[in-house]
Structure 1
Amino acid sequence: MSVVFRACTLTCVSLSLVLPALADESLPRRPQYVIISFDGAHELAQWQRSRTLAARTGAHFTYFLSCVFLLSRDTRNQYQAPGKSSGRSNVGFAQSKDEVRQRLAQIWLARAEGHDIASHACGHFDGKDWSKADWLNEFASFSRILRDAYKINGIEGEPEGWKKFAETGVSGFRVPYLSDGKALYAALSEAKFAYDASGVSRGPAEPQMVGGIMRFALPQIPEGPSSRPIIAMDYNLFVRHSGGIERKDTDAAFENRAYEAFRSAFEREYNGKRVPLEMGFHFTLMNGGAYWRALERFAGEVCVKADVKCVSYADYLADHHGIDGTKTGDVGG
C-alpha cells in the first residue's frame, strides 16, 4: 500500500469534540448508523476475514477496490494512468493469474452477501492535478478492467451477471490519499456516481447532496490521552502511534487506544444526535494487526445492537435517503 494519506492538521481540539455527549430525550430515537469501509481490497485473507466478521455481526461493508489488483504481472499493461506509461501502479499488481481468480471470487461472494463494491480508482496515484478528462480516463480504465477481468486474464467461469454488475453495480468512489478537487467532482458527476466518500469532517457529519452526488466524509474523532482529533482511519492511527513504522503491539496498547477511540465516538452519537459514524480501514495489517483487532472488538459489540445498523454506503443511501445506489451511466469501455 501507499504510505501517504492526508494527516489530521488541526492544532487544537474543539470543545464539541471532547465534551461528553448528553442524550437529548426530545430527539426521535432513529437507528445509529455505522458505516465501515476498506480501501484497496487487496489481500485475500482479509477479504475472508472481513466477510467472516460481517457474517458474525450482521454488518455490511463497502470495499473500495483498486482495479490494478485485477491485473497480474503478465496483464499489467492493460492499465495506463493519466500521464504515466502503461503497466505502472503505486500499489503494484496481483502476483499471479490465480491470485486474480481468487480475488474475483471474493468480490462476487461479497456482492452476493450484500456488501457494496465501490471504486478506489486503479493505480492509487495522487490525482490532485488531474483534469476532468484525466479522471474520466481513470474511471473508464476501472470500468473496463473490472468488466473484462476474466477475459483479460484468461480465467474461465465468469459468473452470469458479472458484466452487468461491473457496468451498473459500482456506484461509489473514494479517491486515493483523500486528495479530492473540482476536476474530480466534475468527472464523478458526468460518470453518474451515486456517492463519493473522499471527504474529511471535523466530527461525524450527515452526508450532503452536491451536484447530484451524495458526499460522505470520514470524521475526525478524539483519540489518545489528550483526545487529539484524528481521521477515523487505520492508517492515520498507525502514523500517530508508531510514526508509520511497523511495531509489534505486544501489550495491546495500539489496539486498545484505537478501540477506545472508536467506542467513544460511537457512544457520543448513540447517546446524542445519532449522526452516522464512518470508519475507514485497509487490508494491510498495521502494527501487528492492532487496528483490525480493534475493529473486530468494536463491531462485535455495537453492530449486534437492535438499534444500530452497521451498513455499507450503498445501504445507507437506500435505507436513509431512498437512493438505490445503482450507477445510471458508464464511462468508456
Structure 2
Amino acid sequence: MAAGVCLSGPALAENASTTAHKPKQLLLISFDGAADNRLWERSGEIARKANAHFTYFLSCTTLIARGPASKAYQAPGEKPGKSNVGFAPDEADAAARLGHIWQAHQEGHDISSHACGHFDGKDWSEADWTAEFSTFKAVLASAWQKNGVGDKQPDGWQDFVKTGIKGFRAPYLSTSKGMVAAEKKAGFVYDASLVTKGPLPPEKDGALSRFGLPLIPEGPGDRPIIGMDYNLFVRHSAGFDNPSKSAEFEDRTYQAFKTAFEAQYSGDRHPMQFGFHFVLMNGGAYWRAMERLVSEVCHREDVACVSYSEAVTMLEQQNENGRKNPAGSSF
C-alpha cells in the first residue's frame, strides 16, 4: 500500500477479508553443519529476540573428537577416519556442542540430520544412505559417554535420538535415487535437499514432505540464485573472503531476502526458506542480513518463523482447513 493511502468502507472490508483468508506466512531459517559453538550461542540469541524457531542440520562428525574415536568413523565408499568437515578438535569442544544441541531442542528448534562426514552422495545406494543414517544415530546415542560427560547426559536424550530427529538435508544438496527410500525407512518426516525455481510448498512423497530452497532474484539484474549463504558468497566474491565489502554484501543480501519475503507475504504466501552455514563468510555479511530480516518480520502477527517440522504440521493443517472450507481459512 502506498504511503498516505487510507482504506475505508468497502475497500477496507475487502482488504480485511483478503488478509483474514490468507494463511500465516512461514519463514524457515536453517543452518547446515552446526559446528562452531560460538555460532550456536549467537543463533540462539537471534532466535529468542525474534521469537523464531530454527532448524539445525547437524553433521555428526562434529560430535566425534579427533583421535582414536575419529579413526573408527567410515562413510560409504570412503577410508576410515575421513570427513570432509573434519572432527571436533577435542572432547571438551564436542561436549560443549552437545549442551547447545540439547538447549536448542528444549527451546523448540529442530535438530535434524546432515549425515556425518559431509560426502557427496550422488552415487550412493539406498543401503549407503541407510548406513550413514544409522551411524548418525549411533554417534548421537553414545556422544555424551564417548566425550567424557556421560554423567551429564540429560534425561530424555535417548528418546530424542530415537524419535526427535525429524528431517534431513543432503550435503551439497546432492541426492541419489536411493536417498528417499532410505529417508522413509529412517522415519524422517521431511527432506530439505531440493532446489526450486521459486518459493513453493513442499512436495509430498508418501509421508515424506520434500522442501526445496528457492531461487530468488539478487543483485544487479535480479539474477536468480539459491537462497543460501554459500551461493551468495561465491557470487559476491568468487568464494574468497573479502571483508572490506562486507557491508555491501550484507545490504545486497538483505534486499534480496526482504524482497523475496515480501513478495510471498503480499502474494501466495508459500513458505519462504533461507539456508546458512556455521561460517561467517565475507565478514558475517549473510548472518547479519538474516538477523535483520528475522528481527523485522518474525514479530508480525501473520508471520510464523518456524522449524521445518513445525512447518509440516502447519501446512497439513492449512490443507485440511482448505478441504473443509474451499473459500479459504486461516490459522
Regarding TM over 0.5, the answer is yes
**Higher CA-based Rg:** 2
Match of 2:259 in 1: 264
- Note closer, same or farther for the CA distance 1:222–1:250 as it changes in structure 2 (3 Å cut): closer
Deviation sequence 1:161-216 (CA, Å, 0-9, x none): 11110111001000000001211111111112111000000000011211321000
Structure 2 letter corresponding to 1:160: D
Structure 1 letter corresponding to 2:26: Y
Secondary structure of the residue aligned to 2:209 is strand
Structure 1 letter corresponding to 2:153: E
Match of 2:34 in 1: 41
Q: Is it true that 1:128 corresponds to 2:134 in the alignment?
A: no
Secondary structure of the residue aligned to 1:35 is strand
Q: Which moved more, 1:208-217 or 1:267-276?
A: 208-217
CA distance in 1, matches of 2:147, 2:243: 37
Match of 1:224 among 219, 227, 241: 219
Q: Is the 8 A contact 2:246 2:284 kept in 1?
A: no
Match of 1:191 in 2: 186
Match of 2:230 in 1: 235
Match of 2:200 in 1: 205
CA distance in 2, matches of 1:146, 1:267: 39
CA distance in 1, matches of 2:45, 2:304: 17
Structure 2 letter corresponding to 1:293: R
Deviation sequence 1:2-37 (CA, Å, 0-9, x none): xxxxxxxxxxxxxxxxxxxxx997572211100010
Q: Is it true that 1:274 corresponds to 2:269 in the alignment?
A: yes
CA distance in 2, matches of 1:229, 1:311: 25
User: Shift of residue 89 of structure 1?
Assistant: 0.1
Structure 2 letter corresponding to 1:61: F
Secondary structure of the residue aligned to 2:243 is coil
User: Shift of residue 251 of structure 1?
Assistant: 6.1
Q: Is it true that 1:169 corresponds to 2:170 in the alignment?
A: no
Match of 2:322 in 1: none
Match of 2:307 among 306, 312, 322: 312
- Normalised by the length of structure 2, the TM-score is 0.88
- Note closer, same or farther for the CA distance 1:195–1:24 as it changes in structure 2 (3 Å cut): farther
Q: Which has the higher contact order (CA 8 A, sep 6+)?
A: 1
CA distance in 2, matches of 1:249, 1:300: 25
RMSD: 1.6
1:1-333 counterparts in 2 under 5 A?
A: 26=18, 28-74=21-67, 75-156=69-150, 157-250=152-245, 252-321=247-316
> What runs of 5+ residues in structure 1 fail to find an aligned partner?
1-22, 324-333
Structure 1 letter corresponding to 2:171: P
Deviation sequence 1:55-104 (CA, Å, 0-9, x none): 00100000000000000112212311011122110010000110011000
Secondary structure of the residue aligned to 2:220 is coil
Structure 2 letter corresponding to 1:177: Y
Secondary structure of the residue aligned to 1:206 is coil
- Note closer, same or farther for the CA distance 1:141–1:246 as it changes in structure 2 (3 Å cut): same
CA distance in 2, matches of 1:222, 1:163: 43
Secondary structure of the residue aligned to 1:246 is coil
Q: Which has the higher helix share?
A: 2
Q: Is the 8 A contact 1:24 1:272 kept in 2?
A: no
Q: Which moved more, 1:147-156 or 1:205-214?
A: 147-156
> What runs of 5+ residues in structure 2 fail to find an aligned partner?
1-14, 319-331
- Determine what percentage of the aligned residue pairs are the same residue: 52
